[in-house]
Structure 1
Amino acid sequence: MTFKELIEKHRDKLNMVGISYHMYPNLTQNTAKTKLSNKLSELQVGSGKQRILPRDEDAARKALLSLKDDLTKFIDQE
């Protein structure tokens, strides 16, 4: 797999908007991006500090799982 093929295939997950949308598919892209950004920055929103929880990490793993095999193929090529 070439770098171009890797990027074209996973373009939707290789940025903040993409990964957040795949982590929170029930939200709009803008809302998902804001949610992830707030959690990463640990901002005070509403009644408490936003932070990454285990369920967020699980959602990130699930979102990135489809990249794993293709990244391994690309990295291991010589």
Structure 2
Amino acid sequence: MKPISIQTEYIKLDQFLKLADCVSTGGMAKALLQEGQVRVNGEPEERRGRKLYPGDTVEVEDIGRFEVTAGA
């Protein structure tokens, strides 16, 4: 699992997918979510605006698993 550090209280899922280099645009994030390829904390997630907090995990099919961590 790859840690992805954020500097804020939370990050929206579509922004997180870009930060983690899973997608390069918001449109790609939307398509990935609509296809059911993203799970947050083990549950399928389709909402681009889902707020992620440190400790949450994101799994993207065929790409990998990531953990949201708090920045220094």
TM-score bracket for this pair, using the shorter chain length: 0.3 to 0.5
The structure with more radius of gyration: 1
TM-score normalised by L of structure 1? 0.35
Higher RCO (C-alpha under 8 Å, 6+ residues apart): 2
TM-score normalised by L of structure 2? 0.36
Larger % of strand: which?
2
Larger % of helix: which?
1
